[in-house]
Structure 1
Amino acid sequence: MAIVALLVLFLALLPIIHLFLTKQRSSSKRLPPGSLGLPIIGQSLGLLRAMQASTGEQWLQGRIKRYGPISKLSLFGAPTIFLTGPAANKFIFMNEALVPQQPSSLTRILGKRTIIELVGEDHKRVRAAVMQFLKPDVLKNYVGKIDREVRHHLKMNWIGRQTVTVLPLMKGLTFDIICSLIFGLERGPLREGLGKDCADMLAGMWAVPLNLPFTHFGKSLRASHRARKVLTRITRERRAMVAQGQVPSSEDLITHLLTLGGEDGTNGLTDEEIVDNAMLVLVAGHDTSSTLMTFMMRHLANDQVTYAAVVHEQEEIAKSKAPGEALTWDDLYKMKYTWRVALEILRMIPPLFGSFRRALKDVEFDGYLIPKGWQVFWASSITHMDANIFQEPCKFDPTRFENQSSIPPYCFVAFGSGLRICPGSEFARIETLVTMHYLATRFKWRLCCRDDAFVRDPLPSPTQGLPVELEPKNKEQLMIVK
């Protein structure tokens, strides 16, 4: 117990020691206004409580009102600078001295060799490898496979049921798509276990990084260890198959990464890089798309005008298909209005509340110092809900995205921006449009609970997971889905 107490005390003093050394080194420059708060904890609990109460944006606006668009605080065990506004977004996304830096809790869960952690040539090399698999020219070949996963999901979980709870079903669907398309992992106990571990990992990613048996973070670390063992075993099995020429390079992401060769003829990525980035794809792809589709269903249940327009677009596409024929890449490009609805959902309720960068060296913004090693925190909702950028920001209006070039740069940042823009945005678009096509053409739905509020934990989650009453539109159509 004495050793544990000394360790906790040492960790508690780290932010103070770091701040003291930074001030000594840069005494001629000003830090932004604000307070680092309590050691280790800082303002983490306040932000997390606000997110869970769905008042995270108000919490940040309170800081802006008190300190202005730049301030210092401590989040998740590290001294942090909070920046807001379009100019700040551009500074963050385009400054090579600021590299993605997730909370230490997230890094310890996902690994140190993901594309959100790597810098310089390592980042370019690994990102290029992942992007080769996620680029449109490759993904368009998998629309039919995603279509089959969606139909199977509807058959097993929606058809014949009067009520369903949307969020957990959407998470199950996106997880199955990832397992099939990204990992080549078939249905069964292994996939089910990985799904549970994925949910447990997410619960501790934005937690105070105390690895104790009773903490969310401790539970997430244990789940991460189990998931990593599974993905490591898959990687080794794929490596052996590739060596024997048994699997084509386009079969799944892990196989694809294994077949990439370096200039010297060796594999360009290490096993650690493959597993870490598979972990990243597993978590990022599992929850962001499922959240988007859940909130699309939530909004369409309350907005009959938008619902009718989405249904009309999707039914016109359905009329052009033969019975049982899968959607194609060309069909997705006809779903322009449906995707605008999705973008407007992302503007108003972005799955990712905010993110972090780390300063590789001392940099300045707006006359203030951002010390080397400090975190920089940004939140998408600050510009998304700015009335000077989006007129009547609280009004749901998909027409905002009819001409996306009219939106000022660095204002709509649901997928980030710059060289580190989300590599999975096209993948998210495909699975979202395929899923919404079958839901809109096969079902009507009504919300079961009057309270349609949501909390962030850390992603937005509707009350009770969004239970809805289902009404099939056409029994013959449902038989085709089967």
Structure 2
Amino acid sequence: METLTTYLLPLLILPISIFLFLQIHQKTTKKQETNLPGSSGWPFIGENMDFAMLGAQTYVSQRMKKYSQDVFQTSLLGEKMAVFCGAHGHKFLFTNETKLLTSWWPESMKKALLFPEFVNNPVKEVTSLQRNFIRDILKPEALKRYISEMDCMTRSHLENDWVPYREVSIFPLSKKYTFALACKLFMSIEDEKHVEKLADHFTLITNGMFSMPINFPGTAYNGAIKGGKLVRDELMNIIVERKKKIMKNEDINLKGDLLSQMLVMKDENGEFTTDMEISNSIIGLLVASYETTSSMVTFVLKYLAEIPEVYEKVLKEQMSIVESKAPGELLSWEDIEKMKYSWNMAREALRLIPPAQGSFREVITDFTYAGYTIPKGWKTFWMVHTTHKNPKYFPDPERFDPSRFEGSGPAPYTFVPFGGGPRMCPGKEYARLEVLVFMHNVVTRFRLEKLMPNEKIIFHSSPTPSNGLPVRLIPHNESVRLANTLSM
């Protein structure tokens, strides 16, 4: 669920500012004293407009220079916020989870994703219901058995959606693939029409839950509310059918997936988890796999298409794995462990274009940090940009350099695409396996040529190439033929 909280950045856009300005009912709260440097911006609007117009990276760098390199105050989403900066700020927030801070989502997000019965519950209660269990399921040792299935699905996806074409758009195809894979591994859903139906519902959610939270017919937010209900209804149907199979002992081929394991799991009191709680957890995993993982795959391939010398090193590493295996043999855990340069390359892509920009917390008790008072009830915010592109931690930060991750790698709390501490994204290892399996299959088949060299990156729920990252596919047998022709 940490991944979900990091989606909140796109909420800070102009429509939110207008919405907040138009609010006529404001909560009355006792004045809270703080000596934090910074600005609360305009009444009602706060600094939402500045954030939206400048972009997260420029916004935070300007205020760090103006106010403090440690922490500064602002007002976003109608909330008083303390923005923590740098590795020390990350460490403080990550290591003080549950002691000084707790999870926080805006009401708009909770209403789009959760059952109405859970909207008023503390986020900590909602996200912790399955957290330990999901962490266990997504540990490396538990994921090993999924590698061959990931490889098989990737091969099928490329054969059907890439190989027949000379040109493809990577982003929409990566979303299609990552969502289908999640449906298969989490719920054993393979029927293409069923997957497409669920994906359509999720598109409504992701297109609208970060828009202006006005629930009128025709608005994007109204679509997100409807999409959320459709997804929850569909998942409840799936859960009911699965429970029937379990009761009839017909679940033999399905009990390895996440859903079946959740259905037979009991809590510390010996009670089974409720269907709604299971649905909440599945929705969280599907939303994460639909957005952040597909973004990660997309931008890894972007850099492979842009930087020939990096591509060649990845290709050499991946071809050595191909040559060590029998024809048609699927990838194994041992193969994944050999992909060291490929993973360093992927991590450098995550440093430069992280799928998640940061996340929020709520202060549960007054505390002092760097000499400044942070009052109870305030929200905190950390952003990857205070370290990922900071020359203090990464010299020449705009340069793509996978060697940064060799040896002991970056200093602690400077590379944080998956967060950190108790709330570190439990899907980190799942994402690593998924992107490496995908990289392996793409680079051993094709060279990629970008069709729009200067394509812009825009930010919705995750960074998105404005035109979907269109590329020309050059199969290796063709690239060899072209090279031979040019040398004649």
Q: Same fold (TM over 0.5)?
A: yes
CA contact (8 A) 2:38 2:67 kept: yes
Match of 2:239 among 235, 241, 252: 235
2:275 counterpart residue number: 271
CA contact (8 A) 1:37 1:73 kept: no
1:85 counterpart residue number: 86
2:467 counterpart residue number: 464
For 1:161 and 1:235, how far apart are their aligned partners in 2?
38
Structure 1 residue 250 displacement after superposition? 4.3
For 2:50 and 2:208, how far apart are their aligned partners in 1?
16
SS at match of 2:390: coil
**Structure 1 residue identity aligned to 2:447:** K
CA contact (8 A) 1:194 1:227 kept: yes
For 2:311 and 2:198, how far apart are their aligned partners in 1?
35
For 1:386 and 1:171, how far apart are their aligned partners in 2?
30
Structure 1 residue 124 displacement after superposition? 5.4
2:142 counterpart residue number: 138
1:256 counterpart residue number: 261
CA distance 1:77–1:234, shift in 2 (3 Å): farther
1:65 counterpart residue number: 65
Structure 1 residue 11 displacement after superposition? 4.8
For 1:364 and 1:37, how far apart are their aligned partners in 2?
26
Structure 1 residue 406 displacement after superposition? 4.5
Deviations 1:290-348 (A, max 9, x none): 11111111111111110000000011101112222111111111111101001001111
Which residues of 2 match residues 74-473 of structure 1 at below 5 A? Answer: 74-95=75-96, 96=98, 97-111=100-114, 118-119=123-124, 126-248=130-252, 250-267=255-272, 269-403=273-407, 405-473=408-476
CA contact (8 A) 1:71 1:83 kept: yes
SS at match of 2:148: helix
CA contact (8 A) 1:76 1:208 kept: no
CA distance 1:460–1:125, shift in 2 (3 Å): closer
Q: CA RMSD in A?
A: 2.4
Structure 1 residue 207 displacement after superposition? 3.0
**Structure 2 residue identity aligned to 1:65:** K
CA contact (8 A) 1:361 1:372 kept: yes
CA contact (8 A) 1:349 1:460 kept: yes
SS at match of 2:26: helix
Extract unaligned runs of 5+ from structure 1. 1-6, 476-482
CA distance 1:76–1:458, shift in 2 (3 Å): same
Deviations 1:241-286 (A, max 9, x none): 223332257432121111112344321x222221111111001112
**Range with greater deviation from structure 2 (102-111 or 134-143):** 102-111
1:30 counterpart residue number: 35
CA contact (8 A) 2:39 2:75 kept: no
**Structure 2 residue identity aligned to 1:167:** F
For 2:391 and 2:22, how far apart are their aligned partners in 1?
45
CA contact (8 A) 1:340 1:402 kept: yes
For 2:127 and 2:474, how far apart are their aligned partners in 1?
48
CA distance 1:272–1:381, shift in 2 (3 Å): same
**Structure 1 residue identity aligned to 2:259:** I
1:4 counterpart residue number: none
CA contact (8 A) 1:101 1:358 kept: yes
CA distance 1:407–1:12, shift in 2 (3 Å): farther
CA distance 1:291–1:123, shift in 2 (3 Å): closer
CA contact (8 A) 2:20 2:78 kept: no
CA distance 1:74–1:193, shift in 2 (3 Å): farther
For 2:46 and 2:188, how far apart are their aligned partners in 1?
42
For 1:432 and 1:302, how far apart are their aligned partners in 2?
18
Aligned residues: 453
**Range with greater deviation from structure 2 (214-223 or 190-199):** 214-223
Deviations 1:139-176 (A, max 9, x none): 10111111121111111100120100000000000001
| TM-score using structure 2 length | 0.87
